[in-house]
Amino acid sequence: MKLKALLVFVLAAVLVSACSVAFAADRKIVVGFAQIGAESDWRVANTNSIRTACEEAGFDLRFVDGQQRQENQIKALRDFITQGVDVIGFSPVVESGWDEVIAEINEAGIPLILLDRTTDIAGDNYFVTWIGSDFLEEGRKAGRWLVEYMQKTGRGRDEINIVELQGTVGSGPAIDRKKGFEEVIKDYPNLRITQSQTGDFTRDLGKTVMESFLKRGERIDVLYAHNDDMALGAIQAIKEAGLKPAEDVIVIGVDAVKGAFEAMLAGEMNVTVECSPLLGPQFVEAVQAIMAGKELPKITYSIEYVYSQEVTRRVVDGRQF
C-alpha cells in the first residue's frame, strides 16, 4: 500500500513538472524595448521595424517611447527590471549617465541588447551584443564625398565655408559623425566649418537653426547635416532665403530616408549617407539566440551605401524607409 502511494506521488510529481516545462516552452518571450523617441523619419522606420519583427516572432513586446528624454528611458528600464522581462533592448538617447541603471539590469541578470546607439560605459561586459551603424565611418563618408565633389567640379582649391547641423548633443551619432567628417576635411585647409550648432535631429530645429546661420550674412557654400530630417528642414530655410539648395548651397545629409531621395530627384539635395533603421529582424534573431543560450558577436554593423543625385526613381520607389 505504501509503495502504491509512493508511486502515485512520483507519477503526479513527474506530471506536474512536465506540465510546467511545457508551459515554459509555450510561454511568450517577454522583451522590453526602451526607444529614444520619434524625432525623425529614421526613428519612426526603426520603431516600425522592431515592432513588426517582434510581432512576427510572437514576442510579448513591452515598448516604451522615451520622447527623447533620458529620465523617461531610465524609468522604462527600471520598470522592465520590476516586470522581470526576459531580454531588454535599448537605444540610449545620449552616451553618458547610464552607469547606475545598467548596473541594476546586470545585477538582475537580464540580458541587454544595444540597438542603434551605445553608451560611454567602459568595456563591453555590460551588454550581450550591439547592432547598429558605424557612425564614425558615416561622418568620414560625408567628408570624402565632399572632397571628391569639390575636385570633380573644379573647386578643389576654393575657400569653402561649411555650416554643420549637429544631432542631439551628447548622442553617439552626433559625436561620431562630427568627428569622422572633421577627420577627413582636416587635410584640406580650404574646407572650413564656419558655423556649427545642434538641430536635435528634428526637421523643425534644422530649419530654425539654418535660418539663424543664414541671417549672419556670411557666405555658406555647404551644409553638412547629421541627418536627413534636419537637412530637409534646412532646405526649406535656404529656399525661403531666396537661394537654390544643391546649387548655391551644397546639401549633405545622413540616413538615406525617402524624403532625402525625393529632394535629390527634385535637384534640391546633393547626397545622403545611408544609415539603416531596419534593425528589427536582427534584433529578433539576437533575442532568440540569447534565449537558446547561443553566443553572439559583440558588434554587428549594418552594411550601408552613399547615394547622390544620380539615384534613380526605381531605387527611390523601392525604398522601405
Name the residues that contact ligand AHR, by CB under 6 A: 39-40, 42-43, 116-117, 173, 201, 227, 229, 254-255, 275
Which helix (H) or strand (E) segment holds residue 304: the answer is none
Residue where the block lists cell 546639401: 251
Kindly tell me which of 57 and 209 has the beta carbon lying closer to ligand AHR: 209
Kindly tell me which of 37 and 160 has the beta carbon lying closer to ligand AHR: 37
> What are the cell numbers at 175?
559625436
Q: Within 10 A of 104 (CB to CB), how many other CB atoms are there? A: 14
Min separation Cβ 275 and ligand AHR, Å: 5
> What are the cell numbers at 121?
560605459
User: Sign of dihedral through CA atoms 40, 41, 44, 46?
Assistant: negative
Cα 303 to Cα 281: distance, rounded to the nearest angstrom: 14
Q: Within 10 A of 99 (CB to CB), how many other CB atoms are there? A: 13
Min separation Cβ 49 and ligand AHR, Å: 13
Kindly tell me which of 106 and 197 has the beta carbon lying closer to ligand AHR: 197
Kindly tell me which of 228 and 268 has the beta carbon lying closer to ligand AHR: 228
Min separation Cβ 200 and ligand AHR, Å: 9
Which helix (H) or strand (E) segment holds residue 90: the answer is strand 87-90
Min separation Cβ 227 and ligand AHR, Å: 4
Kindly tell me which of 223 and 254 has the beta carbon lying closer to ligand AHR: 254
Min separation Cβ 168 and ligand AHR, Å: 7
Would you say 261 and 270 are in contact if contact means Cβ atoms under 8 Å apart?
no
> What are the cell numbers at 156?
578643389
